[in-house]
């Protein structure tokens, strides 16, 4: 947003001698830097597997769901509405301007939870650093 006085702040009583043209120019510079940095972060995430909290169906495709990574990046990937409210692992495949695209890997089960493996056995994580991930009917461990 372009600078404007905020009532109740010390700056509100100062004289505003910055022209609207300069304010718009400064805002444009700031927005460009923010966009450039966000794009750089998104590009670095391509190829990584991220834990995503699924929060809804994608606005652009009913066959995709959307969620947020631990660093609050928006991710869209193929999946059903049954994933809403779940933490899932998603492999990031593409960086876009305002979001990431990915492929569903599996449910992330946090410490103390159980997951059935392909052999129908139950596994439990044994450490705060362990996560059990259900992928394609198999369980695998990884360090968080």
Specify if 90 maps to a domain: yes
130 and 105 inside one domain: no
Asked if the model's pLDDT at residue 113 lies above 80, the reply is no
Range of the domain at 73: 16-109
83 and 21 inside one domain: yes
- Segment 5-24, tens digit of pLDDT: 888 999 888 888 889 999 99
130 and 84 inside one domain: no
Q: What is the pTM of this model?
A: 0.66
23 and 94 inside one domain: yes
27 and 81 inside one domain: yes
**How many domains are there within the chain?**
2
Specify if 1 maps to a domain: no
- Segment 60-104, tens digit of pLDDT: 898 999 999 999 999 999 999 999 999 999 999 999 989 999 999
27 and 54 inside one domain: yes
132 and 105 inside one domain: no
Residue 129 CB neighbour total at 10 angstroms: 10
Specify if 6 maps to a domain: no
45 and 103 inside one domain: yes
- Segment 26-69, tens digit of pLDDT: 999 999 999 999 999 999 999 999 999 999 999 989 899 999 99
47 and 86 inside one domain: yes
CATH label of the domain that carries residue 58: 2.40.50.140
**Do 76 and 99 touch, CB atoms closer than 8 A?**
yes
């Amino acid at each position: 947003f372009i600078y404007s006085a905020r009532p109740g702040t010390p700056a509100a009583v100062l004289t505003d001698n910055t022209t609207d043209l300069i304010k718009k120019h400064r805002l444009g510079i700031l927005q460009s830097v923010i966009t450039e940095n966000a794009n750089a972060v998104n590009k670095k995430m391509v190829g990584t597997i991220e834990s995503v909290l699924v929060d809804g169906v994608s606005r652009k495709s009913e066959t995709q769901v959307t969620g947020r990574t631990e660093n609050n990046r928006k991710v869209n990937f193929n999946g059903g509405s049954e994933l809403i409210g779940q933490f899932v692992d998603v492999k990031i495949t593409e960086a876009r301007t305002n979001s990431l695209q990915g492929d569903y890997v599996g449910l992330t089960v946090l410490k103390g939870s159980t997951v059935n493996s392909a052999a129908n056995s139950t596994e439990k994580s044994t450490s705060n650093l362990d996560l059990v991930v259900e992928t394609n009917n198999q369980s695998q461990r990884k360090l968080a």
